[in-house]
Chain A
Amino acid sequence: MAVYKRGYRRYRGPLTGRWARFMVLPRHAWGRLYQQRLVILLTMAAMVWPVLCAGFIYLTNHAELLQGLEQEFRQFIQVDGRFFSIFMYVQAGFAVFLAALAGPGLIAPDLANNALPLYFSRPLSRWSYALARLMVLVGMLSVVTWIPGLLLFGLQVGLAGGWWFWSNWMLGAGMVAGFLLWLLVLSLVAMASSAYVKWRVVAGAVSLAFFFILSGVAEMINGVFRVTWGHMIDPAWAVNQVWCALLGVEPPDGPGAWTSALALAVLMLLLAAVIERKLRPVEVVT
């Protein structure tokens, strides 16, 4: 019978499990995000560089194609830590813009429309809500970061053979871990700015400006006090330092990987506290 003819009846059927309920927000959010033309365009643009890198890997594994090149250049083009770090820098840049584009639309509208009481009056805790929103961003950014990275790693293993995997598996693991760290920082920044600034466009600008401003402040501190520890407040620099350690690449001068990791942990805790403070079903004014 047509819905409009039969009238309302209470639902008394089976209910879904906890995991299925948790995935409702990410599923619906992904559905809406990928309806935005700009998100699709940026995601597609972010795939160009991995395709070029795949071509590079193919080239390095076919010695016959490199016959005419000089020995020095042939030694230069190798799939190693430096190759993956360059791949990561480019993809990380795309991830920043994607996070700034998609992140603010996740929490800001819920806060602006006072929708949180509707979510939290259902079997969904504040932490589940925050994790679900985090998952939306991490999932979306994974498509342009560690997933193509892992595919490139797999391509290299497939072309070079098993010996290459056994001597370089740390590169693959380091790349995935490094990307996940960056995605976590990006997602938390996007969510925190989205939670604080209810206007979506401004929230996007704030999450972009966050990195540039902190980078500028860090340079100012270093310049004024003639130190290098100012870099610790620059999340992009700190993440790069951790990546260098994970990929075995020469790091830039400044605080070491562990100190940078600690600085990132503190930053992430602060961002989580900001999100926790704003994600409340009711604002209590005392």
Chain B
Amino acid sequence: MTATPVVELENLKVRLGRREILHGITCRLGVAGTGKAVGLLGPNGAGKSTLILTLLGFLKPSAGRARILGLDCRHSRGEARSRIGYMPENDAFIGDMTAVAFLRQMAELSGLPPEAALEKAHEVLFHVGLGEARYRELRTYSYGMKQMAKLAQAIVHGPELVVLDEPTNGLDPAARRRMLKLVGEMKTEQGMSVLICSHLLRDIEQVCDEAVIMRDGAIVHQCNLEEERRSNRRFVELEVTGDDRNLRAALPEIGAEGVPEGGGRWRIVLPAGVELEAIWGLAGRQNLLVRKLAHRRDTLEEIFLKAMGHLAHTPGEHVGT
């Protein structure tokens, strides 16, 4: 039996007026019930929000089909919606309600009995850090608090899939860290699948296991970030001071290859089984002072730039594998 994907698109086309926004997208994202996060990346106008709105059943596909947790987004809309939670990008709340009353109503609308809804409303407000402010009207909340209240309403009914549209928009660094920590906990501790739409590559890189890059209404790249992270263990960034002209010739001593990027910066590919200590040793033998030595971290940025056509290839890629 094949596993049910979180999102499955088959030649999905969406038209707004005369303009076609999504041009026949076909893909399978995530596996339901595994507690993984999928990131949706792309510049403005790429079709990310249109895709999310189509998955929620707000927009009707002009052709093709979209399934969420194995349920058709148009024909099984009600059932699909009872299994998902949605956090919209813009302000969305009922200003003259207290956070508890608002969350209770939202939980009841998702099918929780009134007592359970009230209990979960309190529980989730403490979870997102709004416990002390739960009896305040939502309109009195700061922007960061409203973002947390939006997240709370998305998870109050314990959905299988949570769709987050730009969850860290406008948050200060501390609030952003907290939001990403909560998203991480949602998948690891609660087993929820998460679909995040964001412009911020760092956010996607930090919490997602899979990433999809969209451009002009089409998917231009799909990658498994876990695998990328594993393979990144082989890619090393080195910065040295001293005469590094012989380093390139010396790298094969430890089975590695590398390319200089100027200013003492190097991109190095390590063979399997060789750790960073070997580079330290090599640098020492070459009388080089190591200023920076780390596994490559900006993979997603490079993947994104490549997908957008701003980068011909990943630096160091041609010397690897």
A interface residues (Cβ-Cβ under 8 A, vs B): 3-4, 6-16, 21, 24-25, 28, 32, 109-110, 112-115, 117-125, 280-282, 284, 286
Contact = CB atoms under 8 A, between A and B. Distances in A.
B190 A16 contact: no
A122 B92 contact: no
Contacts of A109: 94-96
A15 B157 CA distance: 10
A135 to B, nearest CB: 15
A70 to B, nearest CB: 57
Given A114-B88, A117-B92, A118-B153, A11 B109 contact: no
Contacts of A114: 88, 90-92
29 contacts: A3-B126, A7-B126, A8-B123, A8-B190, A9-B158, A11-B156, A12-B158, A13-B116, A16-B112, A16-B113, A21-B111, A25-B105, A25-B109, A28-B105, A32-B97, A109-B94, A110-B94, A114-B90, A114-B92, A115-B93, A118-B153, A120-B57, A121-B56, A121-B163, A122-B110, A123-B110, A280-B58, A281-B56, A284-B59
Contacts of B192: 10
A123 B122 contact: no
Contacts of A10: 155, 158, 190-192
Nearest to A132: B109
A3 B190 contact: no
Contacts of A8: 123-124, 126-127, 155, 190
Interface of B: 16-19, 53, 56-59, 77-79, 81-82, 84-86, 88, 90-97, 101, 105-113, 116, 119-120, 122-124, 126-127, 131, 153, 155-158, 163, 190-192
Contact of B78 (A7, A119, A123, A281): A123
Given A6-B123, A118-B153, A123-B78, A11 B86 contact: no
Contacts of A7: 123, 126-127
Nearest to B119: A3
A115 B119 contact: no
A110 B58 CA distance: 17
A117 B88 contact: yes
Contacts of A122: 81-82, 106, 109-110
B9 to A, nearest CB: 19
A125 B109 contact: no
Given A109-B96, A122-B110, A282-B53, 8 more contacts: A11-B157, A16-B111, A24-B108, A113-B93, A113-B94, A117-B58, A122-B81, A280-B58
Contacts of B56: 117, 120-121, 281
A79 B317 CA distance: 95
Contacts of B122: 3-4
A123 B111 contact: yes
Contacts of B110: 15, 122-123
Contacts of B108: 16, 21, 24, 28
A286 B50 CA distance: 13
Contacts of A16: 108, 111-113
Nearest to B159: A10
Given A118-B86, A284-B16, A286-B19, A123 B81 contact: yes
A115 B79 contact: no
A112 B138 CA distance: 14
Contacts of A115: 92-94
A8 B159 CA distance: 13
Nearest to A7: B127
Contacts of B120: 11
Contacts of B88: 114, 117-118, 121
A83 B248 CA distance: 105
A258 B98 CA distance: 48
A4 B125 CA distance: 9
Given A21-B111, A24-B109, A114-B88, A9 B123 contact: yes
B90, B109, B110, B123 interface centre (most CB from chain A within 10 Å): B109
Contacts of A28: 101, 105, 108
Nearest to A109: B94
Contact of B58 (A3, A25, A120): A120
B34 to A, nearest CB: 15
A118 B95 CA distance: 13
Nearest to B83: A123
A15 B123 contact: no
B92 A11 contact: no
Given A110-B94, A118-B86, A118-B153, A15 B58 contact: no
A116 B85 CA distance: 14
A11 B105 CA distance: 15
Contacts of B18: 286
Contacts of A286: 16-19
Given A16-B112, A113-B92, A282-B59, A121 B86 contact: yes
B131 to A, nearest CB: 6
Contacts of A6: 123
Contacts of B123: 3, 6-9
Contacts of B57: 120
A3, A25, A110 interface centre (most CB from chain B within 10 Å): A3
Contacts of B59: 282, 284
Contacts of B78: 123, 125
A1 B214 CA distance: 46
Given A8-B124, A284-B16, A119 B158 contact: no
